[in-house]
Chains A and B, each alone.
Chain A
Amino acid sequence: GQSLEQPSEVTAVEGAIVQINCTYQTSGFYGLSWYQQHDGGAPTFLSYNGLDGLEETGRFSSFLSRSDSYGYLLLQELQMKDSASYFCAVRGGGYSTLTFGKGTMLLVSP
């Protein structure tokens, strides 16, 4: 099976940089994904890391270290609209489905 650990809540101010960590345990591993969910909304895909290293998409970056079973989502130049929950997710070996972490609520204050 798979299990993921991420902080339950992170706070930051507008314009700052915040990092949301995710550690995972899985039998077989394809990659680490990140999703954003605003309050009352549906999760939306942000990024995917299949290989070690950093993937950048605008203000958001995601990092993976397969040897450490660890990844993070980095949000730069924080805006109020970034206040949301962020979920990491993994897919294990064979045909398997995504298993999600419990989510990190990011609160951005002025």
Chain B
Amino acid sequence: NAGVTQTPKFQVLKTGQSMTLQCAQDMNHNSMYWYRQDPGMGLRLIYYSASEGTTDKGEVPNGYNVSRLNKREFSLRLESAAPSQTSVYFCASNGQINEKLFFGSGTQLSVL
């Protein structure tokens, strides 16, 4: 039982490049989330998917797109990376208890 799996763990991009962060969960959870974490800023929600086939914007969605590919997978895409998107990105999911999120191990992204 792997829980929430994110790839890659580390990535360096040049400004303007694009990339997709992958996330998969094997807990049969309906809801999935993408957060970013910056020093002193806590965790801020980028996008979420309350159920398969739906996605909604969170607090900081600009510059990102998401795809809920199926119940297991929720990807985050940066179409044209900017230095302001340098951050640690966490994918998370939850089942029946909305307050209990299960997080992936994170992706450390640097945009030069």
Contact = CB atoms under 8 A, between A and B. Distances in A.
B40 A45 contact: no
Given A95-B50, A97-B33, A43 B43 contact: yes
Contacts of A48: 97, 99-100
B103 A98 contact: no
Contact of A89 (B40, B50, B99): B99
A45 B42 CA distance: 15
B42 A91 contact: no
B42 A98 contact: no
B42 A102 contact: yes
Interface of B is mostly: loop
Interface residues of A, number: 22
Contacts of A101: 42
B2 interface: no
Contacts of A102: 40-42
Contact of A43 (B41, B59, B98, B101): B101
B90 A91 contact: no
B48 interface: yes
B43 A45 contact: no
A100 B33 CA distance: 13
B109 interface: no
A7 interface: no
A43 B100 CA distance: 11
15 contacts: A33-B100, A41-B105, A42-B90, A44-B103, A45-B99, A87-B42, A87-B43, A97-B33, A97-B45, A98-B98, A98-B101, A99-B59, A100-B42, A102-B42, A103-B42
